Amino acid sequence: MFQRKNFIEVIGWSGALASLSAFSLNSMNIIGSQSIQYLVLNILGCGFLIVYAFSKKAHASWVLNSIWLLMTIVALIRVCLFA
């Protein structure tokens, strides 16, 4: 039980770090909002945060991150198809 709890916490913090990294790098004009790096960081961040929020029964958080994840996947598909 304790190891599972720690694993879920690591997943949550990793998701937060990935999402904040994407936002920060984009805000500093290091990567663009349509770059594959930005989109992949957002996909990882959202995916990990969904797992974390679901395990905590934080419905609003996992629903919000699920919507953000879907939008990011659509954006990634568009970038890959029209690049």
Query: With 80 as the cut, is the pLDDT of residue 1 above it?
Result: no
Q: How many CB atoms lie within 10 A of CB 57?
A: 8
pLDDT digits (tens, 9 = 90+) for 13-51: 999 999 999 999 999 999 999 999 999 999 999 999 999
Q: Is the separation of the CB atoms in 38 and 32 below 8 Å?
A: yes
CA dist 29 and 1 (Å) reads: 42
Domain boundaries, the chain: 2-82
Alpha-carbon distances of 56 from 8, 15, 60, 61, 76, rounded to whole Å: 9, 14, 11, 10, 28
> Which residues make Cβ contacts (< 8 Å) with residue 81, sequence separation at least 6?
none
